[in-house]
Chains A and B, each alone.
Chain A
Amino acid sequence: MSRRLIGFAGMTHLGVNSAVAAAERGFSVIGFDRDGDQITALQQGKPSSVEPDLPELLAKNRARITFSTVADTLRSCDVVYIAEDVPTDDGGLSDLGPVRSLIDDVSRAMSVDGVLVVLSQVPPGFTRRLPRPPASTFYQVETLIFGRAVERALQPERFIVGCADPRTPLPGALAEFLGAFGCPILTMSYESAELSKISINMCLVASISTANTIAELCERIGADWSDIVPALRLDRRVGPHAYLAPGLGIAGGNLERDLRTFCHLADRHGTDASVVRAWIANSDHRRDWVLGQLHERVIAKTPEPTVAVLGLAYKPDTSSTKNSPALALLAALAPFPVRAYDPVVTPRPEYHPRLVRATSALDACAAADAVAIMTPWAEFRRLAPAAVAARLRGRTVIDPYAVLDAGACRASGLEHVTLGAPLPRGAV
């Protein structure tokens, strides 16, 4: 099948997953990045980001994808996506310099009738200010999810495309490419599309914050959030796919960026962002939930406690530790010995001054006074509470995401503490 040639500039997590999905849909693809090591690794079939099915899909479509460090290879592309990461600082503030620089390079390399689509996370107003012909410049919302990126790239729920003038039909090449995915295509102004991205994430954060807020009260009054969730999912106004799992605040970087961007815009234009600031404060508060439980149950009673930390990534199926609650916990446990294990992330000395790299989850538990399961990796769900109990010196299992069965933990003599469930007695 001969189809349009699609380019992806920036072999980031977003770029690689999008490029592989395009190839899987039958398009010839060029993946460009200025980083030679990145390109070499991809040419060898080794993507740097961890995603289920990504290496297999890359291998399957290898013949359709050309990886290159030369921007001029994009000249023959009908459509070029800009998939550069927009780095953020710890406060979620974006640095747009790298994406601007890449757009400049790519624009110079592209043919005059080539279509450029910004896929990177940029703030409202960014695309319209680009020094490019508006008719061939678009913004497209990316909705990849770490750990489910391939699935989301292959089967998007919809495409949201920002245009200079949404009344003008999309260029043929872009329409053909997007049409291959068989999902609705929503066209709108650049600004609406850019704000759509933020809107989606804000709705997610609203759900997460609601779950976290109610779950905390559940812990104190004997209610169980897991009982309440099914009732909410059956409510059409909430829905079966709502984000209702309580967690340790917002992590990963993207949601934080959007909240900061919204506050920045609201401040500039004088609109109310107090609820967004409340979400941020709640996220910071819940990030320290494990630390609080450890202090109340273990540290307040044990002179030099050893803590086992299972999971360092900010969520399962990713190697990303951006704003990871696990790393925040390690920083707050600096004076105490810590044994850490993650299936993908290698514990580094800079995470903690007394860090011991464990070889497995059970090895991490060896002679520890408590274990904190900070990332709900599937591997941890397979741990037998009896085996954990046999390794631990103490009895405390801080399991925010309830990866272990609470009943089995209790049967093994463990004190099992989880988000949204009544807190077991034992806290000071």
Chain B
Amino acid sequence: MLTHQLATPENPSRVIVLGGRGFIGRAVRAVLEAAGTPVLAPAGAELDLAADGSDEQLAAMLRDTDAVVVLAALTPDRGRGRAPLFRNLAMAANVCAAVEKVSVAHVVYFSSDAVYPTDLARITEASCAQPADLYGAMHLTREVMLRTSARAPVAILRPTLVYGAGDTHNSYGPNRFRRMARTERRIALFGEGEEQRDHILVDDVAALASQVLRHRSSGTLNLATGLSISYAELAHKVAALFDGPIEVVGTPRQNPITHRHFDVTALRKAFPTFQLTPLDTGLARAHREMLKAE
């Protein structure tokens, strides 16, 4: 659950977006900039958070009125082993050291639903975070690091599967399905695509982050839609957006079927007027943007 420190929302005076050049980071910056909020999003070349001394460098950038959004992380597509774990923790350690030096106004940490067990079918913010792999353990550790370091209100956001045209990660789901459909005219499922998952549009993730910033919220919130569908159904939805037939095929199942549903009551209570983009609308938008980018 989130607690809003500001009952009447207001734009932060400035937001530092760490990891602002990535898929979600770009969307967050766009929403903030559209609202007229000054944003500072240092590129990796100017601020390597994993490097020694980056805490001093970051602290020098910070003002006590800033909100800091922490998105910077090596994502699973760049490895789930020990090396990315320690590099990610080093990045978090430097951010923690910086916000210990400069007491900022607000910290928003983008975690992941990977902190929950893979076999947990229904998830709320009260569900036990018990990660199954080092990537989930990394996020959970970073959550604790930031919560215990920052003197400011800390919001932990745990997005589920995020989709959108600008995604470069090619993880199993809408983005990969779209690419497969476009290049191969077929979408290959794991098994028969029975697993149910929740998919949230990157624009909604960014807009919710903006709401969290405007309310200076603290606590934990899952970012999900509350509506899960099977990968098979999802594949057919993606296929239907293309002209001409797209084949959806199953493959021999390698892993047991698991499902994931989110109870988004906490999100509805935190932001009662927020309207999530229906999946069909979001997929169509991502499809149009992909075509436009080509």
A332 with B268: CB separation less than 8 A: yes
- Quick one: given A281-B126, A428-B227, are A300 and B265 in contact (CB under 8 Å)? no
Residues in A with CB closer than 8 Å to B268 are 291-292, 295, 332
A304 to chain B, nearest CB (A): 8
B226, B269, B275: the one contacting A332 at CB < 8 Å is B269
Q: Which of B109-160 contact A (CB under 8 A)?
A: 124, 126
**What does DSSP make chain B's interface, helix, strand, loop or mixed?**
loop
Q: What is the minimal beta-carbon distance from A299 to any residue of chain B, in angstroms?
A: 7
Distance from B198 Cβ to chain A, minimum over Cβ atoms (Å): 13
Known: A300-B276, A333-B272, A334-B272. A292 touches B265 (CB 8 A): yes
Which residues of the other chain, A, contact B124 by a CB distance below 8 angstroms? 285
A300 to B281, CA, bound (A): 13
Q: In the complex, A295 Cα to B276 Cα: how many Å?
A: 10
Is the C-beta of B278 less than 8 angstroms from some C-beta in chain A? yes
Q: Is A291 a contact partner of B265 (Cβ separation < 8 A)?
A: yes
Segment 235-294 of B: residues with Cβ below 8 Å from A: 263, 265, 268-269, 272-273, 275-276, 278
Q: Which residues of B contact A285 (CB under 8 A)?
A: 124, 263, 265
Q: Given A299-B272, A428-B227, A288–B265 Cβ distance below 8 Å?
A: yes
Interface digits, A314-352 against B, CB 8 Å rule (1 contact, 0 not)?
000000000000000000111110000000000000000
A335-B226 Cα distance, complex, nearest whole Å: 21
Q: How far, in angstroms, from A333 to B273 measured CA to CA in the complex?
A: 9
B124's nearest neighbour on chain A, judged by CB, is A285
The residue in chain A whose Cβ has the minimal distance to the Cβ of B268 is A295
Residues of A within 8 A of B275 (CB): 299-300
Chain B residue nearest to A301 (CB atoms) is: B275
How far, in angstroms, from A379 to B107 measured CA to CA in the complex?
A: 51
Interface centre among B226, B273, B276, B278, by most chain A C-beta atoms within 10 angstroms, is B273
Q: Report the separation of the CA atoms of residues A281 and B126 in the bound assembly, to the nearest whole angstrom.
A: 9
C-alpha spacing A107/B205, complex, angstroms: 63
The winner among A285, A292, A295, A336 for most chain B CB atoms within 10 A is A295
Point out the residue from B126, B226, B272, B276 that lies within 8 Å of A336, measured CB to CB.
B272
Contacts of B269 in A (CB 8 A): 291, 332
Residue from B263, B265, B278 in contact with A428 in the complex, judged by beta carbons closer than 8 Å: B278
Residue of A at shortest CB range from B276?
A: A300
Shortest distance from the beta carbon of B131 to any chain A beta carbon, whole Å: 21
Closest-CB distance, B263 to chain A (whole angstroms): 7
Q: Which residue on chain A has the smallest CB distance to residue B263?
A: A285
Instruction: Compute how far the CA of A335 lies from the CA of B9 in the bound complex, rounded to whole angstroms.
Output: 13
Alpha-carbon distance A332/B126, docked complex (angstroms): 18
- Chain A residues contacting B265 (CB-CB under 8 Å) are 285, 288, 291-292
Binding site for B on A (CB under 8 A): 281, 285, 288, 291-292, 295, 299-300, 332-336, 428
Beyond A292-B265, A299-B273, A428-B278, 11 additional pairs, beta carbon < 8 A: A281-B126, A285-B124, A288-B265, A291-B269, A292-B268, A295-B268, A299-B275, A332-B272, A333-B272, A334-B272, A428-B227
Listed in ascending order, the chain B residues whose CB lies under 8 Å from chain A are: 124, 126, 226-227, 263, 265, 268-269, 272-273, 275-276, 278
The 19 listed contacts between A and B (C-beta, < 8 Å) are A285-B124, A285-B263, A285-B265, A291-B265, A291-B269, A292-B265, A292-B268, A295-B268, A299-B272, A299-B275, A300-B275, A300-B276, A332-B268, A332-B269, A333-B272, A334-B272, A335-B272, A335-B273, A428-B278
